[in-house]
Amino acid sequence: MNAPRAASSPLASLSQEIAVRGALALIGLMLAWRLLLAAFVPLVPDEAYYALWAQGLSAGYVDHPPMIALFIRAGQEMLGDTPLGIRLFSVLAALPASWFVWRAAEELLEDKRAGALAAVLFNATIFGFLGLTLATPDAPLALFCAAMVWGAARLVRAPRPWLWLAMGLATGLAAQSKYSGIMLAGGFALAVLVLAPLRRQLLTPWPWLAGALALLVFLPNIAWNATHDWATLTKQGGRVTAHASFRPGFLPEFVGSQIALATPLIFLFAVLGLLPGRTAAMFRSGAGRALVFFLLFVPLAYFVVHALRARVEGNWVGFLYPLVAIAAAAGMLAPVGSGWLGRNLPGLARATLPLAFGLILALGLHALFVPTTLAGNKDAIVRMTRGWPQFAAEIDARRREIGATAILTNDYQMTAMLKRELPGVTVRQFDERQRYAFMDESEPLALPGPLLLVLSTYRSFNEIASVYGRADLGEVSRRFRDVTMPPVRLFRLDPVVSPPPRPGSSAP
Spatial distance between the Cα atoms of 212 and 208, rounded to a whole number of angstroms: 6
Q: Percent helix, strand, coil in the chain (nearest 5)? A: 65, 5, 30
Instruction: Categorise residue 448: left if φ over 0, alpha if ψ from -120 to 50, beta otherwise.
Output: beta
- Enumerate residues 6+ apart whose C-beta is below 8 A from 190: 294, 297, 298
Spatial distance between the Cα atoms of 324 and 125, rounded to a whole number of angstroms: 10
Cβ atoms < 10 Å from Cβ of 100? 25
DSSP designation for 109: B
- Enumerate residues 6+ apart whose C-beta is below 8 A from 18: none
pLDDT recorded at residue 1: 43
Tens digits of pLDDT across the chain (508 residues): 443 444 456 676 677 888 899 999 999 999 999 999 999 999 999 999 999 999 999 999 999 999 999 999 999 999 999 999 999 999 999 999 999 999 999 999 998 899 999 999 999 999 999 999 999 999 999 999 999 999 999 999 989 999 999 999 999 999 999 999 999 999 999 999 999 999 999 999 999 999 999 999 999 999 999 999 999 988 887 666 556 788 889 999 999 999 999 999 999 999 999 988 777 778 887 889 999 999 999 999 999 999 999 999 999 999 999 999 999 999 999 887 666 666 788 899 999 999 999 999 999 999 999 999 999 999 999 999 999 999 999 999 999 999 999 999 999 999 999 999 999 999 999 988 899 999 988 888 888 889 999 998 656 677 777 778 889 999 999 999 999 999 999 999 998 755 555 555 544 3
State the sign of the Cα–Cα–Cα–Cα dihedral 401, 407, 410, 414: positive
CB 452 within 8 A of CB 442: no
Strand partners, 488: 456, 476
Phi, psi of 37 (to 5 degrees): -65, -40
- Enumerate residues 6+ apart whose C-beta is below 8 A from 44: 134, 384, 385
Spatial distance between the Cα atoms of 395 and 390, rounded to a whole number of angstroms: 9
pLDDT recorded at residue 346: 87
Residue type, 1: M
Strand partners, 454: 409, 490
Cβ atoms < 10 Å from Cβ of 220? 16
For 423, 468, 483, the CA distances from 447, given in Å and listed in that order, are 18, 11, 35
pTM of the full structure = 0.92
Spatial distance between the Cα atoms of 383 and 489, rounded to a whole number of angstroms: 18
pLDDT recorded at residue 245: 85
For 61, 130, 222, 224, the CA distances from 229, given in Å and listed in that order, are 12, 33, 11, 9
Strand 451-456 and strand 488-495: the pairing is: antiparallel
Residue type, 321: Y
> Closest by alpha carbon to 50, among 141, 144, 182?
141
CB 52 within 8 A of CB 81: no
